Structure 1
């Protein structure tokens, strides 16, 4: 009985195993698929005829399209997407990018632009800085009037496309939320240092934040307190969140 059972098992395994003919057919199909892919990469069957850019402002979209112009005429299958991603993200105004091969002839590009939050000022020079700390572009004096100014020390080096560092980076982090959630009073500029962060309002009054700690809490306190202050108030000090103080003279 055992011998018969074993023979039956061997017979079943033999029936389940693929035949030589099936293996040959499978290999042939695999080779055909590989050959078709290689042929498609090397022909104009899927050549890029159109590059669409979605997401950024028009002037940034033009910059992206210019960087990607060499892809026209190349096969969608042969594109070096990591290399293209690095080239596009090297643009100062681009935070991130995603590609989609929209067959048969379109390269679709989705761009996340950098978000401007302030204008850096140093003497007569001006630069636009993003929430990420990246310097997007240089500006003419008076551009972007609705963004607050951060006055730089003379020894601070600024390069378009690079991220600011140190105390200035912390200062940018402080003001970034004010673009989407502004204070009740309009902010004109920011003074910053190792132990000082002071928002100067359009009225000339100051909101003193102290050091970089608890910046979200301090901004929220200022947002709640400012509407209740008297018109002659010259400063609001929230550097110690547990004990906010307001005064009528800046030297207080």
Structure 2
């Protein structure tokens, strides 16, 4: 007789369900690796990308996003400047540093001011130079019309300039200035250093000098005797000669008046003999006042 168990009849154990077979069996019976791939990496693997490559691409996207985030306000400029400065220092350690500066197209006086404005120094990292900023500083110098700045590796900087042509010394309100062909003052130029330039005097003389000076210069006998060209009422010119004589030119057609003076000098050598004043303001008549005679305003009809 079977033995009775305490607690009632023995219950039958339920069979354990079988594990569902994997739809994808590894080839060759290889066991699956522990862990799992993230969804994005799994998707990348589905299109033929390795997880390492996909992870690297994701990192690059993060770096690009960070760079865009930094590019607000002037952060991008500061980041670029800092990077350029760091690169310049690295190359300077390799020998790419400033050892020579060549200024081309400038006079000695202008060269001194150009170098001072450039603000470069020996052993400065050559690749770290802001060439555009340097060019702007050089062109701000009064001597300079335009400039070009070039790096010659490994250690040379070339500053090529077009210098403003010094046309004349302009005397106005008790002060003297050197002016260029447009009548603009060259601030750095000292008038005392340009005694060989013609002297123009008076209001508006600077603006009109470029028109009258070539006409006078075309007559060497007259030019050699001229001490100053004086602008009268900003309308016309008087020529003051070195011997104290005065030639009064008209407000219009100065060339015709100078031709009259030239013809008179050819006939009577009047520039050599001297006179007090020659009035050429009337195109139909030349009035000559001799220096030694007491009758002023002696008339010479038609320049005869």
- C-alpha deviation, 1:200, in angstroms: 2.1
Distance 2:239 2:151 in 1: 47
Q: Deviations over 1:37-96 (max 9, x none)?
A: x78645215322211112222122122122223264444444333322221122222222
Structure 1 contact 117–129 (Cα < 8 Å) conserved: yes
Three-state SS of the structure 2 residue aligned to 1:197 is strand
TM-score, normalization by structure 2: 0.51
> Root-mean-square deviation (CA), in Å?
3.7
Evaluate the alpha carbon distance shift between residue 104 and residue 127 of structure 1 in structure 2; reply closer, same or farther with a 3 A threshold. same
Alignment-derived partner of residue 24 in structure 1: none
1:146 aligns with 2:203: no
Alignment-derived partner of residue 229 in structure 2: 190
Distance 2:131 2:217 in 1: 33
Distance 1:85 1:62 in 2: 16
- C-alpha deviation, 1:177, in angstroms: 3.0
Distance 1:223 1:49 in 2: 59
Structure 2 contact 170–206 (Cα < 8 Å) conserved: no
Alignment-derived partner of residue 12 in structure 1: none
Evaluate the alpha carbon distance shift between residue 70 and residue 143 of structure 1 in structure 2; reply closer, same or farther with a 3 A threshold. closer
Alignment-derived partner of residue 8 in structure 1: none
Structure 2 contact 170–205 (Cα < 8 Å) conserved: no
Q: Deviations over 1:131-182 (max 9, x none)?
A: 2322224747x654333332335xxxxxxxxxxxxx3443222345379756
Three-state SS of the structure 1 residue aligned to 2:186 is strand
1:94-105 matches, cutoff 5 A: 94-105=144-155
1:114 aligns with 2:164: yes
Alignment-derived partner of residue 25 in structure 1: none
Q: Tell which has more relative contact order, 1 or 2 (C-alpha 8 A, sep 6+).
A: 1
Alignment-derived partner of residue 49 in structure 1: 99
Three-state SS of the structure 1 residue aligned to 2:135 is helix
1:210 aligns with 2:253: no
Alignment-derived partner of residue 228 in structure 1: 266
Three-state SS of the structure 2 residue aligned to 1:136 is coil
Distance 1:83 1:222 in 2: 54
Segments of structure 1 that go 5 or more residues without pairing to the other structure are 1-37, 154-166
Three-state SS of the structure 2 residue aligned to 1:184 is helix
Alignment-derived partner of residue 36 in structure 2: none
* Correspondent of 1:81 among 125, 131, 142: 131
Evaluate the alpha carbon distance shift between residue 202 and residue 100 of structure 1 in structure 2; reply closer, same or farther with a 3 A threshold. same
1:127 aligns with 2:177: yes
